[in-house]
Amino acid sequence: MGKRERYEPGTFCWADLATTDPAGAKAFYSELFGWESEDMPAGEAGTYTMLRLDGDDVCALYELEDERREMGIPPHWFSYVSVEDADATASRAVELGGTVFGEAFDVMDAGRMAIIQDPAGAVLAAWQPERHIGARRVNDPGCMTWNELQSRDPKKAAAFYSGLFGWEMEPIEQEGELVYVTIKNAGSSNGGIMPMAEPSTEQHGDAPSYWLTYFTALPDTDVVAGVRGLGGEMLVGPLDIGAGRISVLQDPQGAVFAIFEGETDD
């Protein structure tokens, strides 16, 4: 199984969901993935709900704050990358042309984080672990398995993240056009970059660049039917990609995520 006790710096290690309806989101994902939930007090931030599979932390959710709702920020999944020093990573992000929202900050005794926006607009967190390393299981059914950047400027984004985290980029081209970039960290696959279509196209509309979180489907399940039966929607797919199938879905509150159906690495 994909058990984890630590993460190599530069590795995606966690994802959490900001939602407008925590109770509804817990019911949806519990039914879809078999997650168990436990509400944890998070001081002034309110409640942080840990989502577990067979007792292992796999991700979390919390209620989207009124301030961010008023700014027009919709429900969304948010990706975290493990780093040795969140402050140093934040400083490096600015040097490379990115933006840091505020300064790095402590999350009680769990760790320290910085919220970083790349030059094309996508946002993620740099996570310096202390008590909380991130997900205790990945890749297994019902667990996070991939993080993919949907980018308006994939070449600029690739250069930014390579400089920030030391990621190795493997571009894939068809007829001279960039169609995908595979990300490797310390020699292991660590996500990808998908070029987004022009803003005028129907597929992406005017959506900004963003990180898309993938979870592995439970075996012998009809994912799309399950999502629709629970009040969600299918946005893209299912698409056969050789190694398996992927679908991009939306939960009842509007957060977008993706499903992978197929064999995964440990």
Long-range CB pairs of 233-236 (<8 Å, 24+ gap) are 236/203
148 and 253 belong to one structural domain: yes
169 and 118 belong to one structural domain: no
pLDDT in tens, 152-201: 999 999 999 999 999 999 988 888 888 899 999 988 889 999 998 654 34
pLDDT confidence of 40, banded at 50, 70, 90? confident
Number of continuous H segments (helices) and E segments (strands) in the chain: 5, 17
Long-range CB pairs of 22-30 (<8 Å, 24+ gap) are 22/47, 22/49, 22/61, 22/62, 22/63, 24/252, 24/253, 25/61, 25/75, 25/251, 25/252, 25/253, 25/255, 26/51, 26/61, 27/230, 28/230, 28/231, 28/232, 28/251, 28/252, 29/61, 29/251
113 and 157 belong to one structural domain: no
190 and 124 belong to one structural domain: no
Specify the pairing of strand 123-129 against strand 256-262.
unpaired
Domain membership of residue 138 (yes or no) is: no
Query: For residue 10, what are the contacts with CB-CB under 8 A and spacing of at least 6?
Result: 81, 82, 83, 165, 166, 167, 185, 186, 190
Q: How many domains does the chain have?
A: 2
pLDDT in tens, 69-111: 888 889 999 999 999 999 999 999 999 999 999 899 999 899 9
Q: Which of 18-27, 81-90, 169-178, 210-219 comes out lowest in average pLDDT?
A: 169-178
Domain membership of residue 190 (yes or no) is: yes
Domain membership of residue 135 (yes or no) is: no
159 and 121 belong to one structural domain: no
Note down the domain range covering 231. 144-262
Q: Which of 2-11, 37-46, 174-183, 230-239 comes out lowest in average pLDDT?
A: 37-46
Distance CA 255, CA 61 (A): 11
191 and 249 belong to one structural domain: yes
Pull the structure tokens for residue 84: 């040795």
129, 157, 191 - which closes a domain: 129
129, 154, 186 - which closes a domain: 129
82 and 32 belong to one structural domain: yes
Q: 24 and 255 in contact (C-beta within 8 Å)?
A: no
What percent of the chain is predicted at pLDDT more than 90?
A: 67
Distance CA 208, CA 227 (A): 25
Asked if omega into 238 is within 30° of 0 (cis), the reply is yes
Domain membership of residue 136 (yes or no) is: no
Question: The domain spanning residue 212 has which CATH number?
Answer: 3.10.180.10
Distance CA 184, CA 168 (A): 5
- Give the helix ranges, DSSP H, for 148-230: 154-165, 223-229
Pull the structure tokens for residue 86: 């969140």
Pull the structure tokens for residue 199: 């803003």
Query: Can you give the pLDDT at residue 67?
Result: 86
113 and 162 belong to one structural domain: no
- Give the helix ranges, DSSP H, for 166-220: none
105, 129, 153 - which closes a domain: 129
Q: 89 and 126 in contact (C-beta within 8 Å)?
A: yes
157 and 258 belong to one structural domain: yes
Domain membership of residue 63 (yes or no) is: yes
183 and 88 belong to one structural domain: no
Domain membership of residue 4 (yes or no) is: no
